[in-house]
Structure 1
Amino acid sequence: MGTERRQLSLGAFLMNYGHHIAAWRHPGSAGVGAVVYDFYKRCAQAAERGKFDMVFLADNNSIPLIEDLRTNVSFLQPEALTMLSSLAGVTAYVGLAGTASTTFNEPYALARRLSTLDHISGGRAAWNVVTSTKDAEARNFGSVELMEHGKRYERAEEFLRAVMECWDSWEDDALVLDRQRAVFADTTRIHRVHHEGAFFRVEGPLNMPRSPQGRPVIIEAGTSAAGRRLAAQTADVVFTACESKEDAIRYYREFKDLLKEYGREGGEVKVLPGLLIFLGESEAEALAYHRAFSELILPEAGVKYLSQLLNADLTEYPVDGPLPDLPREGNSSRAIMIMDMAAKSGMSILELGRHYAVARGHMTMIGTPLQIADRIEDWFRSGACDGFNIMAPLLPSGLEQFVEGVVPLLQQRGLFREDYTGRTLRDHLGLNRPETQHEK
């Protein structure tokens, strides 16, 4: 690992009109359709101007209830890797991270798509590894319901192993390209995968040379116990959701300690909580900006969105009543976090809906650029994180405001880079380029 002074890592989390559920209704909204290329291009180029480590696109494979589309656009997203591949051509440095499910993909095909993205971007690809959590997704892929939670994680672990084996099937110097000797590749350095497991059979090798980063960066959400252990073994970056600095510090310490159980050092994995930011030139302006968004949330929209997060229909329950008992087993870590919050706070369904429709359990900061920079520095120096995944309530303007107002303050304090010093995402994150399994 490098010996440079520790600095923040920053991701820009792109989510259709913005991270506030009512962003599409805001007067400052871009007012465009669900998938407009120039919109995503503007966001990615803003992140690169701000010297961000990466932009991140989430993804899903269903619309649970069509009637929700009347007010809720949160599940309308372009296919992540397709959009990122197009953004590779209009950016030069910023990393390109996208979600793809291990539940409804095949290892060889996904390894190939991610390796292609890494090649065409010059080493900037990252994969956010997820297991699907909605029965609606299963119904789009030939099943009535999702496989049991434990099986989904077993499949995910094997899926990830098979993908790594595909990426490592070419050693770094396998490509020779010697025209005089008519030798394209050193075939002794290209290896069959021969993967045979409980869920997959993959023969290999991958039909392209090893990518610029060796392997694309692996991102995981390490909130649940199973997710945390998988991330400790395999992730380069962990996305978390913490609403308080104390919770974030506790998670950070526990996760970094867990790394040691798998022979890894703390610096090998970056922990990046999501951070929703409402900026204003004054604190009063920032609070008014936040209030304006809150007034746009229809009560039924908040309840329906809460239903989506919990994978349960709450519309038949009194909105002023408590959250009903819901099954925890097999549910997402985000859903379990909401259940715990409901039990702890006594919030009603309506209050929970409004709360989670805004930040989905992530930390929210409201204030001036100086106030936001102060709080970011406090979290970072307190050992709560290695940086943040920045969530603008409104895109692209919210991201551009952060780049213009907050980033220069972080740079002046020596907390964030003034320019890129490498070309790959691993360079930006300060991560070593991995050896293949055949070179160890």
Structure 2
Amino acid sequence: MTFSHARRRLHLAAALDRRSVRDADEYAADARLAERGALDFVTLGDGPAAPDALAVLSRVAPGTRRVGLVPTVTTTRAEPFRVQAAVATLDRVSRGRAGWRIEVSTTEGEARLLCHQGSALSVGDASALPRPPQGHPVRVVDATDRPARAVAARYADVALVRAVLPAQAAAARDELRASAAAHGRDPDALRILAALDVDLGDGECAADPCHGGGPRPTPRGPLYRGGPIGLAELIAAWHRDGTVDGFHVTPVDPRRDLERLVNGTVSLLQHRGLFRTFYPGSTLRDHLDLARPANGCAPARGVS
């Protein structure tokens, strides 16, 4: 395949999720590896059997300098103002590199798990905490399901879509951009990344030929199985054609696949001039070419 230079900046991110790992130092090592490849950000999931993603990435922050840190923080298990304060604190300790991956309940059964009783909730004033460096930490939403897609179009800075074919991803992108515009947003202020599980255990072998070298459907979502070179070709093709702004990759084998992603796939994209070799800015919004939002709580200035 011949790589061509794209005018739009390519964005790449990776998940750090590891089963049964509780040592924050291991997550820090993975984050530094991602930073060595100049990835935009890393994510860490949350759940009953997983370590506290926000706490882990707060521990990772001092050991990294540029890579964005995006934990999943579920508001069904914490008061909204506590989530706001915690994510804003991560933004401060990381000097503007924090994001927040928002999980959207898509079924009534999920919503019932909250089990909250109360007549009202009132927040009477703006937060007493200083405004975080980015203004608002970057909001990331998995926009594959329809309810989550509506939330992403209205509020997200980064939307993740799952698709096995470029046409599917392009359709989701067009829908998200149109919906964002309908909500009064600039569609160009929304980054849309294809979410993809990757199994790079085949080394330099070609991608699974049963699906034309592209992702194949699985119960977990799209899966790419092949080598780093084939993955680089897939990323370059989907980005070159304007299908997505980039990829969020979840390694099947975290230790092996993240190393092959950075040292193989990313290195090849950098060599071809398709992905940056250094961070041009210091904040996650800088990496994603997103403007710092205005302060909605600032007092209005008089007009002369």
Q: TM-score, normalised by structure 2?
A: 0.85
Against the structure 1 CA distance between its residues 249 and 35, is the aligned structure 2 distance closer, same or farther, given a 3 Å change threshold?
same
What amino acid maps onto 1:414 in structure 2? G
**Structure 2 residues without counterparts, runs of 5 or longer:** 1-5, 209-216
2:274 to 407, 410, 415: 415
2:88 partner letter:
S
* Cα distance in 1 between the residues matched to 2:92 and 2:204: 44
Per the alignment, in what secondary structure is the counterpart of residue 103 of structure 1?
A: helix
Give the equivalent residue in structure 1 for 2:289.
430
Partners of 1:136 and 1:92 lie apart in 2 by 41
Give the SS at the match of 1:411.
Answer: helix
What is the Cα deviation at residue 426 of structure 1? 0.3
Report the 3-state secondary structure (helix = DSSP H, G, I; strand = E; otherwise coil) of the residue aligned with 2:73.
Answer: strand
C-alpha distance in structure 1 between counterparts of 2:45 and 2:297, whole Å: 33
Paired residues for 1:163-182 under 5 Å: none
Which residue pairs with 1:146 in the alignment?
Answer: 113
- Partner residue of 1:275? 196
Give the 3-state SS of the residue equivalent to 2:168 in structure 1: helix
Q: Note the C-alpha offset of 1:116.
A: 0.6
- Residue 96 (structure 1) aligns with: 69
Mapping for residues 344-359 of structure 1, pairs under 5 Å: 355-356=218-219
Residue 124 (str. 1) matches residue 97 (str. 2): yes
Take 1:133 and 1:399, find their aligned partners in 2: how far apart are those partners? 30
**1:264 positional shift:** 1.9
**Counterpart Cα distance in 1 of 2:122 and 2:162:** 35
Out of 243, 247, 262, the position equivalent to 2:183 is 262
Deviation at 1:207, TM superposition (A): 3.0
Alpha-carbon contact 2:15-2:250 (below 8 Å) kept: yes
User: For 2:69, what is the secondary structure of its paired residue?
Assistant: strand
Measured in 2, the distance between the counterparts of 1:393 and 1:230 equals: 28
Q: How far off its partner does 1:220 sit?
A: 1.2
Counterpart selection for 2:31 from 21, 44, 53: 44
Taking structure 1 as reference, are residues 234 and 402 closer, same or farther at Cα in structure 2, changes over 3 Å only? Answer: same
1:265 deviation in Å? Answer: 2.2
User: What does the per-residue CA deviation read over 1:117-158, in whole Å, with 9 as the maximum and x for residues that have no partner?
Assistant: 0000000111111245799988xxxxxx4369xxx9xxxxxx
User: 2:84 maps to which residue?
Assistant: 111
Select the residue among 13, 29, 40 that pairs with 1:11. 13
| Larger Cα-atom Rg | 1
How many residues align? The count is 284
Where do 1:2-81 residues align within 5 Å? 5-17=7-19, 33-61=20-48, 76-81=49-54
Matched, 1:85 2:58: yes
The match for 2:255 among 386, 393, 396 is 396
Mapped pair 1:249 → 2:170: yes
Structure 1 residue 113 displacement after superposition: 0.5
Preserved CA contact (<8 Å) 2:104 2:148: no
Cα distance in 2 for partners of 1:136, 1:227 equals 15
Matches within 5 A, 1:168-207: 200-207=121-128
* Structure 1: 4+ residue segments shifted above 6 A: 133-138
Distance 1:118 1:385 in 2: 27
TM-score normalised over the length of structure 1: 0.60
Paired residues of 1:133 and 1:146 also in contact (CA < 8 A)? no
Give the root-mean-square deviation of aligned CA atoms: 2.7
How much has 1:389 moved relative to structure 2?
A: 0.7
Residues 147-206 of structure 1: CA deviation (Å, up to 9, x unaligned): 69xxx9xxxxxxxxxxxxxxxxxxxxxxxxxxxxxxxxxxxxxxxxxxxxx853112432
In structure 2, how many angstroms separate the alpha carbons of the residues matched to 1:238 and 1:36?
Answer: 29
**2:283 & 2:227 partners in 1: Cα distance?**
32
Residue type of the alignment partner of 1:56: T
Asked if structure 2 preserves the Cα contact closer than 8 Å seen for 1:236 and 1:268, the reply is yes
What is the distance in 2 between the residues matched to 1:224 and 1:365? 21
Amino acid at match of 2:227: T
Q: Does structure 2 conserve the Cα–Cα contact (< 8 Å) formed by 1:102 and 1:131? A: no
Q: Residue 153 of structure 2 contacts residue 176 of structure 2 at CA under 8 Å; is this kept in 1?
A: yes
Once the two structures are aligned, what percentage of the paired residues are identical? 37
- In proportion to residue count, which structure has more helix? 1
Determine the C-alpha separation between the residues in 2 that align with 1:52 and 1:427: 12
Equivalent residue of 1:39, what SS?
A: helix
CA drift at 1:278? 2.4
Q: Which runs of 5+ in 1 are unaligned?
A: 18-32, 62-75, 139-144, 153-197, 288-340, 342-354
- Residue 252 of structure 1: CA displacement? 1.1
Which SS does the other structure have where 1:418 is aligned?
Answer: coil
Contact 2:154 2:183 in 1 (8 A): yes
